[in-house]
Amino acid sequence: MKTIKGPALFLAQFAGETAPFNSWDSITRWAADCGYKGVQVPSWDGRLFDLEKAATSKAYCDEITGVAAANGIAITELSTHLQGQLVAVHPAYDTAFDGFAAEAVRGNPKARQEWAVDQVKKALTASRNLGLSAHASFSGALAWPYIYPWPQRPAGLVEEAFDELARRWRPILDHAEDCGVDVCYEIHPGEDLHDGISFEMFLERVGNHPRANMLYDPSHYVLQHLDYLDHIDIYHERIRMFHVKDAELNPTGRQGVYGGFQSWVNRAGRFRSLGDGQVDFGGIFSKLTQYGFDGWAVVEWECCLKHPEDGAREGADFVRAHMIRVTEKAFDDFAGAGTDRAANRRMLGLD
């Protein structure tokens, strides 16, 4: 067994135009002041991180690592959630997702997809330059509009979608292998990889690629009414990243998991700050520790009620309270009588 590292914080929801959230130095100092030991970095946010430089300059990577270290912070992983989303986009979402891309490729789905692949590959190279072993991303989606089929899906539609998704990701996964970095797909509604079965469908099509792994976030499983503890038992060998995020699902006679097109605060399923939702984090930390997960516990703040800065400060303490320092001895060692094979055979009546 190994002890989970943490607490860490995903910076995507905190980067902004005002101090201390508008520069790498100030936001890492703020994170350390909140009680964090690490940060997960949104690779698309130029206020904090220059992806182009990080992919081409080890000196730049050493510089930003040094600034963070001086503030008591480690870089845990890079994220390409926005760019990974653009690796595969159904035309129904072209307009909605166009804003994730560089301005030069907006309105051009082919160029946008090529840009997205290049971005994820650069982030993997940058991860290697930073000495990181895991990378967070989304899979994108081609089949998602057909998740609840009416009219019924034509035969072969889903298979064709997953074949194409695998075709687009295989070169990226091969580059990840060259970099020695795991691609950790956040299993997330809106992505074709949204539960265990869909992840398995993808994994089969990429030849069980060793770099195709999972970012485990139980909040998304609560909102799907999926058994998130059993999920760890099934997929622990592929879980290489962990978002600590809470959620609650309170269905009524008026709405359930789909939410009735309501705002987040009015949905039956809502993201909450840590400790305010329904996730059994004691069970999760126990299972991940049992299976030897030694990655970072990364707080992702997404709450429909609580202020983000309060959620961040409370989150650091919450994670610290749930981390398990693994034991180096058995609890009943004190009662050990000390024996040998001959004694064991006598106890079994074999001599």
What CATH number is associated with residue 43?
Answer: 3.20.20.150
Q: Does residue 334 have a pLDDT over 70?
A: no
pTM over 0.75, yes/no: yes
Work out the average pLDDT over 138-156: 96
What whole-number percentage of the chain has pLDDT above 90? 93
Domain interval for residue 292: 5-347
For residue 238, give the 3-state DSSP assignment.
Answer: coil
Instruction: Pick the closest to residue 251 from 237, 262, 238 (CA basis).
Output: 262
Residue 120 to residue 44: CA distance in whole angstroms: 10
Q: What share of the chain is helix, strand, coil (3-state, %, to 5)?
A: 45, 15, 40
E strands, the chain, in order: 5-10, 38-42, 74-80, 134-137, 182-186, 212-216, 239-244, 246-249, 269-272, 296-299
pLDDT for the residue 342: 87
- DSSP character at residue 110: H
Q: Does residue 85 have a pLDDT over 90?
A: yes
Q: Does residue 98 have a pLDDT over 70?
A: yes
Mean pLDDT of all residues in the chain? 96
Q: Does residue 326 have a pLDDT over 70?
A: yes
CA distance between the termini of the chain:
37
Number of structural domains (the chain) is: 1
pLDDT for the residue 160: 98
Do the strands 182-186 and 74-80 form a parallel or antiparallel pair, or are they unpaired? Answer: unpaired
Give the least confident one: 168-172, 227-231, 346-350.
346-350
Instruction: Pick the closest to residue 216 from 191, 192, 181, 245 (CA basis).
Output: 245
